Amino acid sequence: MNRPAALFRLATLVLLLWSPAAPPAGAAPVSAPQYRSDQILIQPRNGISRTVLAAFHAAHGVRVGRAFAAAGGAQVITLPAGETVASLIAKYQQSGLVAFAEPDYPVYADATLPNDPYFNNGLLWGLDNYGQNSGTPHADIAAPAAWDVLASASNIVVAVLDSGIRATHEDLAANMWVNLNDGGHGYNAFTGTNDPADDSTSHGTMVAGVLGAVGNNGKGVCGVAWSVQMMACKCLNNGAGSDSTVIACIDYALANGAKIINASFDSPTASLAVSNAIVTAQAAGVIWVASAGNGNPGRNIDLTPSYPSGYGLDNLVSVAYTTRTDALGTLSNYGATNVMLAAPGDQIYTTFAASDTYYYPPVNLSINLAGTSFSAPYVSGALALMLAKYPAENYHQIIQRLLAATDPLPSLVGKCATGGRLNLARALNPPVWLSPVATTNTGTFQLRLTTGANRLCVLQMSTNLIGWTPIYTNTTSANGTFDFTNPVSPPRQFFRATTTL
């Protein structure tokens, strides 16, 4: 029986009303204090009488908060009411009793953070959620910790099968793939040309911004991958395409070296031609990332299939979306078999095709840009970084690494195969392994933990595989290991290890 060509729809361009508490566009983040205003640090001079120093403390109404005898003898001096840091430091310096007096300056965890303004003002919560705008801290992909490992996938080509991309946008231009034969940035399946300019929907430009807006360029937003090659493949025109336009773009992407295909669209009908094209991509080792699609509310696509998510191929990763509180998005489709994981896809802020400097939605409007169209490029950007980090691994290994690194969430139990949301930091770090080293005749045995270098890890013990107790915390050496010795005693003991990433 002849089947009408499936009409491909935008999976997630959904606008809802909400009340943002975000700062106005362009607002700078609040500056951190230069130093603590309630205390200073001093170092008593060698040979000074402690009694004399104590009398000086008392005369100025201060108290010694802490003293560090084993770390050089420095003291923390708490300021009395009405005193300033500068004034008290001057008094100690003039006293002749100290080698130095100085402010207590803040120290921050090392993190690779971009200078893009809309990252710094908290709009990009899916990358770094610290509770802004009523979010849940860490309901994000742990991007800053991941960027400490790697932020660039400049050698990885990601084909964005969508409505086209505004290639001249200030936050996308540097990350657009260039065809060395004709200078174009991709392919237009409707015209058969190398002009995949975005249309009025701007859908592809928005997807591209989430995936790979240039990071750390001081402009607008940043993508999951700060540097990547995005190939614009226009298979949608004003929100719709067909099986043939999709296949034409797959053909172009495979012929021109794409390693990942992002497909933020869906169809209610399966196509043998499309599934065969994805199988061809599979044979070439190309990973296909598909949005799970949306409903109102979202539906179980194990029961009511959506394609390409429903093709069941092992190079295909289907993605649901989560909110800034780690809830499954109201509109997100789901499925314990046909959806692999979730990623942020609610209250999105990204690049827009209206001009080279346009971002959407305008922060002065109560608009919610949401859906799995945006959770899919989170995963595509993550996979690009993973391919750059682990170039020797095949698509099976990369996808397994991605799925093993998710954060399990109560909201995703039974809703996707992993029950988890993307965690890029874990995906870019090696897993933690435990292996026995030796058992001695003195009633002890030794475990070796192996993972990446200089990672803080916690060993846990259980006697029943239900309740787990932390028993040892250590940081791995430069070769990524540490050993642990434990007494052998009944009942039987089980061990596992966790890491901070």
- What is the set of active-site residues? 162, 203, 373
According to DSSP, the β-strands at 316-322 and 350-351 are unpaired
CA pair distance 273, 243, nearest whole angstrom: 8
| Residue 494 DSSP label | E
DSSP run (H or E) holding 55: helix 50-59
Neighbours of 465 (CB within 10 A): 8
DSSP run (H or E) holding 487: strand 481-487
Instruction: Specify whether the backbone of 143 is left (phi greater than 0), alpha (psi in -120 to 50) or beta.
Output: alpha
Cβ-Cβ contacts under 8 Å for 120 (sequence gap 6 or more) = 28, 29, 113, 114
Cβ-Cβ contacts under 8 Å for 57 (sequence gap 6 or more) = 63, 64, 77
Q: How many residues does this entry show for the chain?
A: 501
Selection from 157, 164, 224 nearest residue 352 by Cα: 164
Secondary structure (DSSP) of 465-477: SSS-EEEEEEE--
Q: H-type helices in 60-192, by residue range? A: 85-95, 117-120, 143-149
Structure tokens at 494: 């089980």
Selection from 268, 250, 236 nearest residue 315 by Cα: 250
Q: Give the Cα-Cα-Cα angle 340, 213, 316 (nearest 5 degrees).
A: 20
Cα-flanking dihedrals φ and ψ of residue 113, to 5°? -115, 135
8 Å CB contact between 18 and 347: yes
Structure tokens at 153: 């996938």
8 Å CB contact between 254 and 280: yes
8 Å CB contact between 26 and 120: no
